[in-house]
Amino acid sequence: MMAIRMARPTTRTGSSAAYYRKRVPADLTQSLRGKVINLDLPCPEGSPITVSTTISAVIQVSLQTSLPSLVKLRHGSISHQVEAYIARSRSGDGSIDLTYRDVMALVGVARQHILNQHSDNPPASIELEQWAEMIDYAQRFDLMFPKAMHVALESIMPIIDAQSFVRQRCQATLSDGSFRTFVNALLKALVETVIVLRMRSHGDYSPDMYSIQYPQVDSQRVTTSVPHPVEGKHPRTSSCSSAGVSVTTLQELFDVWRTATSPSASTVSTWQGYVKRLTAFVGHSDPQRITKQDAQAWRDALVKEGLKVVNRTYLGGMRTMFQYALENSETTGINSNPFDGVKARQKVVAGTSRRPFSDTHVRTILDAAMNERLPYLRWLPWLQASTGARVGELAQLWTSNVIIDPDTDLHCLHILPALDGGSIKNEGSERVVPIHPDLIEAGFLDFVRNRKAGPLFYGKPAPGRAEGSARKHPSKGVSNRLSEWTRGLGIDDPRLAPNHSFRHWFKTALRKAGCADSLVDQIQGHAARSEGDAYRHADPKTMLEAVVKVSLKTVGKRG
Protein backbone atom coordinates (compact mmCIF):
# COMPACT_ATOMS: atom_id res chain seq x y z
CA MET A 1 0.00 0.00 0.00
CA MET A 2 1.31 3.43 -0.96
CA ALA A 3 1.57 5.84 1.97
CA ILE A 4 -0.14 9.24 1.65
CA ARG A 5 2.50 11.93 1.66
CA MET A 6 1.82 14.52 4.35
CA ALA A 7 2.69 18.24 4.02
CA ARG A 8 6.12 19.03 5.39
CA PRO A 9 7.84 22.32 6.25
CA THR A 10 9.51 23.96 3.25
CA THR A 11 11.99 26.79 2.78
CA ARG A 12 12.31 29.68 0.31
CA THR A 13 15.38 31.20 -1.29
CA GLY A 14 16.54 34.24 0.64
CA SER A 15 14.69 33.33 3.85
CA SER A 16 15.87 31.26 6.78
CA ALA A 17 12.32 30.80 8.11
CA ALA A 18 10.39 27.61 7.41
CA TYR A 19 7.09 27.69 5.52
CA TYR A 20 3.83 25.77 5.61
CA ARG A 21 2.60 24.99 2.11
CA LYS A 22 -0.43 22.99 0.97
CA ARG A 23 -2.06 22.72 -2.44
CA VAL A 24 -5.77 23.59 -2.37
CA PRO A 25 -7.98 20.58 -3.23
CA ALA A 26 -9.15 20.70 -6.86
CA ASP A 27 -12.85 20.89 -5.90
CA LEU A 28 -12.24 24.05 -3.86
CA THR A 29 -9.65 25.85 -5.99
CA GLN A 30 -12.13 28.11 -7.71
CA SER A 31 -14.31 28.93 -4.71
CA LEU A 32 -11.40 29.68 -2.32
CA ARG A 33 -9.11 31.59 -4.68
CA GLY A 34 -8.58 35.15 -3.48
CA LYS A 35 -9.98 34.58 0.01
CA VAL A 36 -7.94 35.53 3.05
CA ILE A 37 -7.38 32.98 5.80
CA ASN A 38 -6.23 34.01 9.30
CA LEU A 39 -4.01 31.53 11.14
CA ASP A 40 -2.49 31.46 14.62
CA LEU A 41 1.20 30.59 15.07
CA PRO A 42 1.74 29.16 18.57
CA CYS A 43 4.12 31.21 20.67
CA PRO A 44 5.23 29.30 23.80
CA GLU A 45 6.22 32.44 25.68
CA GLY A 46 3.02 34.42 25.03
CA SER A 47 -0.10 34.94 22.93
CA PRO A 48 -0.12 33.38 19.45
CA ILE A 49 0.93 35.41 16.41
CA THR A 50 -1.97 35.90 14.02
CA VAL A 51 -0.97 35.90 10.34
CA SER A 52 -2.96 36.27 7.14
CA THR A 53 -2.45 34.80 3.71
CA THR A 54 -4.39 35.10 0.48
CA ILE A 55 -5.34 31.74 -1.00
CA SER A 56 -4.25 30.98 -4.57
CA ALA A 57 -3.62 27.49 -5.93
CA VAL A 58 -1.84 26.88 -2.63
CA ILE A 59 -2.13 27.97 0.97
CA GLN A 60 1.30 29.15 2.04
CA VAL A 61 2.40 30.93 5.20
CA SER A 62 5.72 31.66 6.87
CA LEU A 63 6.22 29.94 10.21
CA GLN A 64 8.48 32.88 11.16
CA THR A 65 11.16 30.69 12.71
CA SER A 66 13.92 28.25 11.78
CA LEU A 67 14.15 26.68 15.26
CA PRO A 68 13.37 22.96 14.67
CA SER A 69 11.21 22.45 17.77
CA LEU A 70 9.16 25.59 17.09
CA VAL A 71 8.88 24.76 13.38
CA LYS A 72 7.42 21.37 14.30
CA LEU A 73 4.94 22.91 16.76
CA ARG A 74 3.79 25.64 14.39
CA HIS A 75 3.60 23.42 11.33
CA GLY A 76 1.39 20.94 13.18
CA SER A 77 -0.88 23.69 14.48
CA ILE A 78 -1.23 25.39 11.07
CA SER A 79 -1.93 22.03 9.45
CA HIS A 80 -4.81 21.40 11.87
CA GLN A 81 -6.24 24.88 11.25
CA VAL A 82 -6.02 24.60 7.46
CA GLU A 83 -7.61 21.14 7.42
CA ALA A 84 -10.46 22.42 9.61
CA TYR A 85 -10.91 25.40 7.27
CA ILE A 86 -11.07 23.13 4.22
CA ALA A 87 -13.58 20.86 5.95
CA ARG A 88 -15.80 23.83 6.79
CA SER A 89 -15.53 25.14 3.24
CA ARG A 90 -16.91 21.82 2.00
CA SER A 91 -19.77 21.76 4.53
CA GLY A 92 -22.05 24.06 2.56
CA ASP A 93 -22.98 27.02 4.76
CA GLY A 94 -19.63 26.97 6.56
CA SER A 95 -21.22 27.16 10.00
CA ILE A 96 -19.51 25.36 12.86
CA ASP A 97 -20.41 24.06 16.30
CA LEU A 98 -18.12 25.04 19.16
CA THR A 99 -17.64 23.35 22.48
CA TYR A 100 -18.75 25.38 25.49
CA ARG A 101 -15.09 25.95 26.36
CA ASP A 102 -14.37 27.36 22.92
CA VAL A 103 -17.42 29.64 23.13
CA MET A 104 -16.20 31.03 26.45
CA ALA A 105 -12.73 31.54 24.97
CA LEU A 106 -14.31 33.54 22.15
CA VAL A 107 -16.31 35.60 24.68
CA GLY A 108 -13.04 36.34 26.47
CA VAL A 109 -11.53 37.63 23.22
CA ALA A 110 -14.60 39.85 22.61
CA ARG A 111 -14.46 41.21 26.13
CA GLN A 112 -10.74 41.96 25.86
CA HIS A 113 -11.37 43.66 22.52
CA ILE A 114 -13.80 46.11 24.18
CA LEU A 115 -11.45 46.77 27.10
CA ASN A 116 -8.54 47.38 24.70
CA GLN A 117 -10.63 50.02 22.96
CA HIS A 118 -11.77 51.89 26.06
CA SER A 119 -9.39 51.32 29.01
CA ASP A 120 -7.01 54.18 28.17
CA ASN A 121 -9.87 56.68 27.89
CA PRO A 122 -12.87 55.17 29.72
CA PRO A 123 -16.37 56.35 28.74
CA ALA A 124 -18.00 58.98 30.92
CA SER A 125 -20.26 57.81 33.75
CA ILE A 126 -23.40 58.77 31.84
CA GLU A 127 -22.31 56.70 28.84
CA LEU A 128 -21.57 53.69 31.05
CA GLU A 129 -25.04 54.07 32.56
CA GLN A 130 -26.44 53.94 29.03
CA TRP A 131 -24.38 50.79 28.39
CA ALA A 132 -25.83 49.21 31.52
CA GLU A 133 -29.37 50.07 30.34
CA MET A 134 -28.69 48.56 26.91
CA ILE A 135 -27.30 45.35 28.41
CA ASP A 136 -30.16 45.06 30.89
CA TYR A 137 -32.67 45.51 28.04
CA ALA A 138 -30.94 42.83 25.94
CA GLN A 139 -30.92 40.33 28.82
CA ARG A 140 -34.72 40.37 29.01
CA PHE A 141 -35.16 38.48 25.72
CA ASP A 142 -35.42 34.76 25.11
CA LEU A 143 -32.72 34.21 22.50
CA MET A 144 -34.37 31.00 21.32
CA PHE A 145 -36.52 33.19 19.08
CA PRO A 146 -34.86 34.84 16.04
CA LYS A 147 -36.71 38.14 16.47
CA ALA A 148 -35.71 38.32 20.13
CA MET A 149 -32.11 37.61 19.13
CA HIS A 150 -32.21 40.50 16.65
CA VAL A 151 -33.58 42.87 19.30
CA ALA A 152 -30.91 41.82 21.81
CA LEU A 153 -28.11 42.24 19.26
CA GLU A 154 -29.41 45.63 18.19
CA SER A 155 -29.59 46.76 21.81
CA ILE A 156 -25.88 46.18 22.41
CA MET A 157 -24.80 47.41 18.94
CA PRO A 158 -23.31 50.67 20.35
CA ILE A 159 -20.99 48.51 22.46
CA ILE A 160 -20.19 45.65 20.09
CA ASP A 161 -21.54 44.27 16.83
CA ALA A 162 -21.56 40.63 17.91
CA GLN A 163 -22.31 39.18 14.48
CA SER A 164 -19.55 41.15 12.74
CA PHE A 165 -17.16 40.30 15.56
CA VAL A 166 -17.72 36.57 15.12
CA ARG A 167 -17.38 36.82 11.33
CA GLN A 168 -14.11 38.73 11.60
CA ARG A 169 -12.60 36.63 14.37
CA CYS A 170 -13.57 33.17 13.06
CA GLN A 171 -13.09 31.58 9.69
CA ALA A 172 -16.79 30.63 9.61
CA THR A 173 -20.17 31.57 11.01
CA LEU A 174 -21.36 29.79 14.14
CA SER A 175 -24.28 27.40 14.21
CA ASP A 176 -27.47 28.76 15.77
CA GLY A 177 -26.82 26.89 19.01
CA SER A 178 -23.21 28.03 19.35
CA PHE A 179 -24.06 31.62 18.50
CA ARG A 180 -26.93 31.67 21.01
CA THR A 181 -24.59 30.35 23.71
CA PHE A 182 -22.03 33.00 22.70
CA VAL A 183 -24.51 35.88 22.96
CA ASN A 184 -25.87 34.70 26.33
CA ALA A 185 -22.35 34.52 27.73
CA LEU A 186 -21.38 37.80 26.06
CA LEU A 187 -24.20 39.68 27.82
CA LYS A 188 -22.87 38.51 31.20
CA ALA A 189 -19.34 39.47 30.13
CA LEU A 190 -20.54 42.94 29.15
CA VAL A 191 -21.87 43.49 32.68
CA GLU A 192 -18.38 42.63 33.96
CA THR A 193 -16.83 44.93 31.35
CA VAL A 194 -18.92 47.90 32.52
CA ILE A 195 -17.81 47.24 36.11
CA VAL A 196 -14.14 47.25 35.10
CA LEU A 197 -14.52 50.40 32.98
CA ARG A 198 -16.23 52.15 35.90
CA MET A 199 -13.14 51.33 37.96
CA ARG A 200 -10.88 52.66 35.19
CA SER A 201 -12.94 55.87 34.96
CA HIS A 202 -12.15 56.48 38.64
CA GLY A 203 -8.43 55.89 38.17
CA ASP A 204 -8.44 52.28 39.41
CA TYR A 205 -6.24 50.26 37.07
CA SER A 206 -5.82 47.26 39.33
CA PRO A 207 -5.79 43.84 37.60
CA ASP A 208 -9.01 42.82 35.87
CA MET A 209 -10.54 40.35 38.31
CA TYR A 210 -12.78 38.76 35.69
CA SER A 211 -10.29 37.92 32.93
CA ILE A 212 -8.87 34.84 34.65
CA GLN A 213 -12.14 32.91 34.22
CA TYR A 214 -11.92 32.88 30.40
CA PRO A 215 -9.90 30.08 28.75
CA GLN A 216 -7.36 30.69 26.01
CA VAL A 217 -8.50 30.10 22.43
CA ASP A 218 -7.51 26.72 21.04
CA SER A 219 -6.52 27.67 17.48
CA GLN A 220 -6.68 24.04 16.35
CA ARG A 221 -10.44 24.02 16.99
CA VAL A 222 -11.46 27.60 16.21
CA THR A 223 -9.34 30.14 14.37
CA THR A 224 -9.49 33.61 15.84
CA SER A 225 -7.41 36.70 15.36
CA VAL A 226 -6.06 38.91 18.10
CA PRO A 227 -8.26 42.03 18.21
CA HIS A 228 -6.48 45.14 17.06
CA PRO A 229 -7.17 48.29 19.07
CA VAL A 230 -8.44 51.49 17.55
CA GLU A 231 -6.09 54.38 16.93
CA GLY A 232 -4.68 55.84 20.09
CA LYS A 233 -5.28 52.69 22.16
CA HIS A 234 -2.70 50.12 23.14
CA PRO A 235 -2.98 46.38 22.71
CA ARG A 236 -2.50 43.84 25.45
CA THR A 237 1.23 43.38 25.96
CA SER A 238 2.66 40.15 24.65
CA SER A 239 6.09 38.74 23.87
CA CYS A 240 4.84 37.86 20.39
CA SER A 241 3.56 40.60 18.08
CA SER A 242 0.43 40.20 15.98
CA ALA A 243 0.24 40.40 12.21
CA GLY A 244 -2.76 41.91 10.43
CA VAL A 245 -5.97 40.63 8.87
CA SER A 246 -6.93 41.79 5.39
CA VAL A 247 -10.35 42.75 4.08
CA THR A 248 -11.13 41.33 0.66
CA THR A 249 -14.32 43.13 -0.43
CA LEU A 250 -15.70 46.64 -0.22
CA GLN A 251 -18.57 45.26 1.84
CA GLU A 252 -16.13 43.81 4.38
CA LEU A 253 -14.33 47.15 4.51
CA PHE A 254 -17.65 48.92 5.08
CA ASP A 255 -18.55 46.45 7.84
CA VAL A 256 -15.20 46.97 9.58
CA TRP A 257 -15.63 50.76 9.43
CA ARG A 258 -19.23 50.50 10.65
CA THR A 259 -18.27 48.28 13.59
CA ALA A 260 -15.51 50.65 14.66
CA THR A 261 -17.43 53.91 14.32
CA SER A 262 -21.06 52.98 15.11
CA PRO A 263 -22.67 55.44 12.66
CA SER A 264 -26.37 56.23 12.70
CA ALA A 265 -28.80 53.96 10.87
CA SER A 266 -29.42 56.63 8.23
CA THR A 267 -25.68 56.91 7.57
CA VAL A 268 -25.42 53.12 7.31
CA SER A 269 -28.25 53.07 4.77
CA THR A 270 -26.84 55.96 2.72
CA TRP A 271 -23.22 54.79 2.67
CA GLN A 272 -24.30 51.26 1.85
CA GLY A 273 -25.68 52.81 -1.33
CA TYR A 274 -22.31 54.46 -2.01
CA VAL A 275 -20.57 51.08 -1.69
CA LYS A 276 -23.00 49.45 -4.13
CA ARG A 277 -22.61 52.29 -6.64
CA LEU A 278 -18.81 52.14 -6.50
CA THR A 279 -18.80 48.34 -6.85
CA ALA A 280 -21.06 48.53 -9.91
CA PHE A 281 -18.94 51.27 -11.48
CA VAL A 282 -15.52 49.58 -11.15
CA GLY A 283 -16.95 46.14 -11.96
CA HIS A 284 -15.49 44.32 -8.95
CA SER A 285 -15.55 44.46 -5.14
CA ASP A 286 -11.82 44.27 -4.29
CA PRO A 287 -10.76 47.43 -2.37
CA GLN A 288 -7.09 46.60 -3.01
CA ARG A 289 -7.61 47.01 -6.77
CA ILE A 290 -9.29 50.43 -6.62
CA THR A 291 -6.89 53.11 -7.87
CA LYS A 292 -6.92 56.89 -7.86
CA GLN A 293 -7.81 56.72 -11.55
CA ASP A 294 -10.89 54.68 -10.59
CA ALA A 295 -11.83 57.29 -7.98
CA GLN A 296 -11.41 60.14 -10.46
CA ALA A 297 -13.42 58.35 -13.15
CA TRP A 298 -16.22 57.64 -10.66
CA ARG A 299 -16.23 61.30 -9.62
CA ASP A 300 -16.57 62.40 -13.24
CA ALA A 301 -19.43 59.94 -13.82
CA LEU A 302 -21.30 61.17 -10.72
CA VAL A 303 -20.94 64.80 -11.78
CA LYS A 304 -22.03 63.99 -15.33
CA GLU A 305 -25.10 62.28 -13.89
CA GLY A 306 -26.09 65.64 -12.41
CA LEU A 307 -25.70 64.69 -8.74
CA LYS A 308 -25.11 67.55 -6.32
CA VAL A 309 -22.58 67.99 -3.49
CA VAL A 310 -20.62 64.96 -4.68
CA ASN A 311 -17.67 65.94 -2.47
CA ARG A 312 -19.66 65.76 0.77
CA THR A 313 -21.60 62.65 -0.14
CA TYR A 314 -20.18 59.93 -2.40
CA LEU A 315 -16.53 60.99 -2.41
CA GLY A 316 -16.56 62.07 1.22
CA GLY A 317 -18.02 58.76 2.37
CA MET A 318 -15.53 56.63 0.48
CA ARG A 319 -12.63 58.89 1.46
CA THR A 320 -13.55 58.52 5.12
CA MET A 321 -13.94 54.74 4.86
CA PHE A 322 -10.61 54.22 3.08
CA GLN A 323 -8.86 56.62 5.44
CA TYR A 324 -10.01 54.57 8.41
CA ALA A 325 -8.74 51.44 6.62
CA LEU A 326 -5.38 53.11 5.92
CA GLU A 327 -4.96 54.21 9.53
CA ASN A 328 -5.66 50.60 10.57
CA SER A 329 -3.69 48.94 7.78
CA GLU A 330 -2.38 46.26 10.11
CA THR A 331 -5.87 44.78 10.33
CA THR A 332 -7.37 45.84 7.01
CA GLY A 333 -4.41 45.34 4.68
CA ILE A 334 -5.22 48.68 2.96
CA ASN A 335 -2.04 50.69 2.29
CA SER A 336 -3.38 53.67 0.34
CA ASN A 337 -6.44 55.89 0.10
CA PRO A 338 -7.38 56.21 -3.59
CA PHE A 339 -9.90 58.97 -2.75
CA ASP A 340 -7.34 61.20 -1.04
CA GLY A 341 -7.30 64.52 -2.90
CA VAL A 342 -10.04 63.49 -5.35
CA LYS A 343 -12.60 66.30 -5.38
CA ALA A 344 -15.39 67.47 -7.64
CA ARG A 345 -15.26 71.15 -8.61
CA GLN A 346 -18.96 71.88 -8.27
CA LYS A 347 -20.07 75.47 -7.71
CA VAL A 348 -23.14 76.31 -5.72
CA VAL A 349 -25.63 77.80 -8.15
CA ALA A 350 -27.10 81.13 -7.08
CA GLY A 351 -30.68 80.83 -5.89
CA THR A 352 -30.39 77.20 -4.75
CA SER A 353 -28.95 77.45 -1.21
CA ARG A 354 -31.11 76.67 1.82
CA ARG A 355 -33.03 79.53 3.42
CA PRO A 356 -34.36 80.04 6.96
CA PHE A 357 -38.05 80.31 7.73
CA SER A 358 -39.40 83.83 8.02
CA ASP A 359 -41.20 84.91 11.18
CA THR A 360 -44.45 84.56 9.22
CA HIS A 361 -43.62 80.94 8.36
CA VAL A 362 -42.89 80.19 12.02
CA ARG A 363 -46.19 81.77 13.13
CA THR A 364 -48.10 79.72 10.57
CA ILE A 365 -46.50 76.48 11.77
CA LEU A 366 -46.87 77.17 15.51
CA ASP A 367 -50.52 78.20 15.17
CA ALA A 368 -51.29 75.06 13.15
CA ALA A 369 -49.48 72.90 15.72
CA MET A 370 -51.68 74.32 18.52
CA ASN A 371 -54.70 72.70 16.87
CA GLU A 372 -53.13 69.24 16.43
CA ARG A 373 -53.79 66.27 18.72
CA LEU A 374 -50.98 63.94 17.64
CA PRO A 375 -48.06 64.55 20.08
CA TYR A 376 -45.36 64.90 17.44
CA LEU A 377 -47.37 67.47 15.46
CA ARG A 378 -48.45 69.34 18.57
CA TRP A 379 -45.08 69.65 20.30
CA LEU A 380 -42.17 69.13 17.90
CA PRO A 381 -42.64 72.45 16.02
CA TRP A 382 -42.65 74.34 19.34
CA LEU A 383 -39.57 72.46 20.51
CA GLN A 384 -37.81 73.27 17.24
CA ALA A 385 -38.69 76.96 17.52
CA SER A 386 -37.56 77.19 21.15
CA THR A 387 -34.31 75.19 21.00
CA GLY A 388 -33.08 75.29 17.40
CA ALA A 389 -32.25 71.60 17.83
CA ARG A 390 -32.08 69.10 14.98
CA VAL A 391 -35.47 67.50 14.48
CA GLY A 392 -33.91 64.03 14.79
CA GLU A 393 -32.61 64.91 18.28
CA LEU A 394 -36.09 66.01 19.37
CA ALA A 395 -38.10 63.24 17.69
CA GLN A 396 -36.18 60.56 19.66
CA LEU A 397 -36.66 62.16 23.10
CA TRP A 398 -37.82 59.93 25.95
CA THR A 399 -39.59 61.03 29.12
CA SER A 400 -36.27 60.54 30.91
CA ASN A 401 -34.73 63.29 28.73
CA VAL A 402 -36.95 65.91 30.39
CA ILE A 403 -35.06 66.80 33.58
CA ILE A 404 -34.62 69.43 36.27
CA ASP A 405 -31.10 70.84 36.19
CA PRO A 406 -29.67 70.36 39.72
CA ASP A 407 -27.63 73.60 39.63
CA THR A 408 -30.33 75.97 38.38
CA ASP A 409 -33.62 74.13 39.16
CA LEU A 410 -34.71 74.81 35.57
CA HIS A 411 -36.72 72.37 33.51
CA CYS A 412 -34.43 71.24 30.69
CA LEU A 413 -34.02 68.79 27.84
CA HIS A 414 -31.04 66.46 28.08
CA ILE A 415 -30.22 65.79 24.45
CA LEU A 416 -28.22 62.58 24.01
CA PRO A 417 -28.47 59.27 22.10
CA ALA A 418 -31.75 57.44 22.72
CA LEU A 419 -31.58 54.28 24.82
CA ASP A 420 -32.99 52.19 21.97
CA GLY A 421 -30.23 53.06 19.51
CA GLY A 422 -31.14 56.54 18.31
CA SER A 423 -28.03 58.60 17.60
CA ILE A 424 -26.92 62.22 17.66
CA LYS A 425 -24.53 63.83 15.21
CA ASN A 426 -21.34 63.89 17.28
CA GLU A 427 -19.91 64.18 20.77
CA GLY A 428 -20.55 67.95 20.88
CA SER A 429 -24.24 67.40 20.17
CA GLU A 430 -24.88 66.07 23.68
CA ARG A 431 -26.10 68.97 25.78
CA VAL A 432 -28.61 70.23 28.34
CA VAL A 433 -30.84 73.08 27.12
CA PRO A 434 -33.59 74.92 29.01
CA ILE A 435 -37.27 74.57 28.11
CA HIS A 436 -38.74 77.89 26.94
CA PRO A 437 -41.32 79.33 29.40
CA ASP A 438 -43.80 79.72 26.53
CA LEU A 439 -43.59 75.97 25.94
CA ILE A 440 -44.16 75.25 29.64
CA GLU A 441 -47.14 77.61 29.68
CA ALA A 442 -48.57 75.79 26.64
CA GLY A 443 -48.62 72.56 28.69
CA PHE A 444 -45.56 70.65 27.52
CA LEU A 445 -44.55 69.47 31.00
CA ASP A 446 -48.12 68.25 31.66
CA PHE A 447 -47.90 66.26 28.43
CA VAL A 448 -44.63 64.67 29.57
CA ARG A 449 -46.00 63.81 33.03
CA ASN A 450 -48.94 62.00 31.47
CA ARG A 451 -46.75 59.87 29.18
CA LYS A 452 -45.55 56.45 30.23
CA ALA A 453 -41.82 55.93 30.57
CA GLY A 454 -40.29 55.62 27.14
CA PRO A 455 -40.35 57.57 23.87
CA LEU A 456 -42.37 60.79 23.72
CA PHE A 457 -43.18 60.83 20.02
CA TYR A 458 -43.19 57.24 18.77
CA GLY A 459 -44.98 54.24 20.16
CA LYS A 460 -42.42 51.66 21.18
CA PRO A 461 -38.64 51.39 21.62
CA ALA A 462 -36.87 50.55 18.39
CA PRO A 463 -37.01 46.82 17.56
CA GLY A 464 -33.95 44.87 16.43
CA ARG A 465 -33.14 44.44 12.79
CA ALA A 466 -31.83 41.52 10.79
CA GLU A 467 -28.15 41.21 9.99
CA GLY A 468 -27.09 43.54 7.17
CA SER A 469 -30.29 45.57 7.42
CA ALA A 470 -30.11 49.35 7.52
CA ARG A 471 -33.54 49.87 9.09
CA LYS A 472 -33.82 53.42 10.36
CA HIS A 473 -34.70 54.43 13.89
CA PRO A 474 -38.48 54.97 14.32
CA SER A 475 -37.92 58.65 15.10
CA LYS A 476 -36.87 59.07 11.45
CA GLY A 477 -40.42 58.23 10.37
CA VAL A 478 -41.73 60.84 12.81
CA SER A 479 -39.41 63.46 11.29
CA ASN A 480 -40.52 62.57 7.76
CA ARG A 481 -44.21 62.79 8.62
CA LEU A 482 -43.64 66.15 10.31
CA SER A 483 -41.95 67.36 7.12
CA GLU A 484 -44.93 66.27 5.00
CA TRP A 485 -47.32 68.00 7.41
CA THR A 486 -45.32 71.25 7.20
CA ARG A 487 -45.39 71.15 3.40
CA GLY A 488 -49.15 70.73 3.63
CA LEU A 489 -49.41 74.13 5.30
CA GLY A 490 -48.51 75.75 1.99
CA ILE A 491 -44.78 76.08 2.75
CA ASP A 492 -43.65 74.55 -0.51
CA ASP A 493 -40.59 76.66 -1.46
CA PRO A 494 -37.96 74.02 -2.37
CA ARG A 495 -35.28 76.17 -0.74
CA LEU A 496 -37.07 75.85 2.61
CA ALA A 497 -36.33 72.54 4.33
CA PRO A 498 -39.47 71.81 6.41
CA ASN A 499 -37.43 70.78 9.44
CA HIS A 500 -33.95 72.21 9.06
CA SER A 501 -35.08 75.72 8.12
CA PHE A 502 -36.31 76.02 11.72
CA ARG A 503 -32.69 75.59 12.80
CA HIS A 504 -31.58 78.38 10.46
CA TRP A 505 -34.40 80.64 11.69
CA PHE A 506 -33.50 80.07 15.36
CA LYS A 507 -29.87 81.04 14.84
CA THR A 508 -30.88 84.13 12.86
CA ALA A 509 -33.45 85.18 15.50
CA LEU A 510 -30.98 84.92 18.40
CA ARG A 511 -28.31 86.80 16.44
CA LYS A 512 -30.81 89.62 15.82
CA ALA A 513 -31.51 89.63 19.57
CA GLY A 514 -27.81 90.29 20.23
CA CYS A 515 -26.73 86.81 21.39
CA ALA A 516 -23.13 85.75 20.81
CA ASP A 517 -22.58 83.14 18.11
CA SER A 518 -20.62 80.94 20.54
CA LEU A 519 -23.61 80.82 22.91
CA VAL A 520 -26.08 80.07 20.12
CA ASP A 521 -23.78 77.29 18.87
CA GLN A 522 -23.81 75.68 22.33
CA ILE A 523 -27.60 75.84 22.52
CA GLN A 524 -27.92 74.24 19.07
CA GLY A 525 -25.15 71.65 19.51
CA HIS A 526 -22.92 73.08 16.78
CA ALA A 527 -19.20 72.34 16.89
CA ALA A 528 -17.01 75.03 18.43
CA ARG A 529 -15.67 77.48 15.83
CA SER A 530 -12.29 77.81 17.53
CA GLU A 531 -10.21 76.23 20.26
CA GLY A 532 -11.15 79.17 22.50
CA ASP A 533 -14.87 78.61 21.98
CA ALA A 534 -14.44 74.99 23.06
CA TYR A 535 -13.53 76.25 26.55
CA ARG A 536 -16.75 78.27 26.91
CA HIS A 537 -19.53 76.35 28.66
CA ALA A 538 -22.85 78.11 29.19
CA ASP A 539 -25.17 76.84 31.92
CA PRO A 540 -28.96 76.48 31.36
CA LYS A 541 -29.63 79.80 33.11
CA THR A 542 -27.42 81.68 30.64
CA MET A 543 -29.01 79.81 27.74
CA LEU A 544 -32.49 80.65 29.02
CA GLU A 545 -31.64 84.36 29.16
CA ALA A 546 -30.89 84.07 25.44
CA VAL A 547 -33.84 82.00 24.22
CA VAL A 548 -36.49 84.08 26.05
CA LYS A 549 -35.46 87.04 23.89
CA VAL A 550 -37.61 85.39 21.24
CA SER A 551 -41.28 85.20 22.26
CA LEU A 552 -43.01 82.20 20.71
CA LYS A 553 -46.41 83.69 21.50
CA THR A 554 -45.83 86.87 19.52
CA VAL A 555 -43.30 85.98 16.80
CA GLY A 556 -44.64 86.84 13.36
CA LYS A 557 -47.70 88.69 14.67
CA ARG A 558 -48.38 92.17 13.42
CA GLY A 559 -48.74 95.11 15.75
**pLDDT at residue number 434:** 92
Query: Residue 220: pLDDT above 70?
Result: no
Gap between the Cα atoms of 271 and 148, Å rounded: 27
Q: How confident is the model at residue 528 (pLDDT cuts 50, 70, 90)?
A: low
Bridge partners (DSSP) of residue 11 are 18
| C-alpha 289, offset from chain centre | 26
Asked whether the beta carbons of 258 and 306 are under 8 A apart, the reply is no
Output b/e per residue, 103-140; b: 16+ Cβ within 10 A: bbbbbbbbbbbbbbbbbeebbeeebbebbeebbebbbe
Residues near 326 by beta carbon (within 8 Å), at least 6 away in sequence: 332, 334, 335, 336, 337
Helix, strand, coil tally for the chain in percent (to 5): 50, 5, 45
Of 202, 204, 47, 211, nearest to 114 by C-alpha is 211
pLDDT, tens digit, 9 for 90 and up, residues 158-191: 899 888 788 767 756 777 778 888 999 999 999 9
Query: Does the pLDDT of residue 130 top 70, yes or no?
Result: yes
- Highest average pLDDT, of 206-210, 458-462, 467-471, 540-544, comes from 540-544
Residue 445 pLDDT level (bands cut at 50, 70, 90): very high
Mean pLDDT of 220-229: 42
Instruction: Extract the runs of DSSP E, i.e. beta strands, from 408-469.
Output: 411-415, 431-434
Q: How confident is the model at residue 344 (pLDDT cuts 50, 70, 90)?
A: confident
Give the model's pLDDT for residue 1: 36
What's 485's DSSP letter? H
Which string of b and e fits 50-84 if b means at least 16 CB within 10 Å? Answer: bbbbebeeebbbbbbbeeeebbebbbebbbebbeb
The alpha carbon dihedral of 364, 370, 374, 375 has a sign of positive
Q: What is the mean pLDDT of residues 540-549?
A: 89
Top mean pLDDT of 2-6, 29-33, 135-139, 351-355 is at 135-139
Q: Average pLDDT of the chain?
A: 78
Strand-pairing partners, residue 96, are 174
558 vs 227: which has the higher pLDDT = 558
CA distance 132 to 323: 32
Residue 188 exposure: Cα atoms within 13 Å on the Cβ side: 12
Predicted pLDDT at 533: 52
Please give the radius of gyration of the chain, using alpha carbons only, rounded to the nearest integer: 28
Amino acid at 3: A
Which residues does 93 contact at the CB level (< 8 Å), separation at least 6? 173
Find the mean pLDDT for residues 264-271: 75
pLDDT in tens, 58-83: 888 888 888 887 888 888 888 877 87
pLDDT at 511: 87
As a whole number of angstroms, the distance between CA 440 and CA 411 comes to 9
Does residue 437 surpass a pLDDT of 90?
yes
pLDDT score of 468 more than 50: no
pLDDT(33) > 50: yes
244, pLDDT greater than 80? no
pLDDT of residue 357 exceeding 70: yes
> Is the confidence at residue 360, as pLDDT, over 70?
yes
Task: Report the C-alpha gap between 211 and 214 in whole angstroms.
Answer: 6
Query: CB-based contacts of 410: which residues, under 8 Å, 6+ apart?
Result: 404, 434, 435, 540, 541, 544
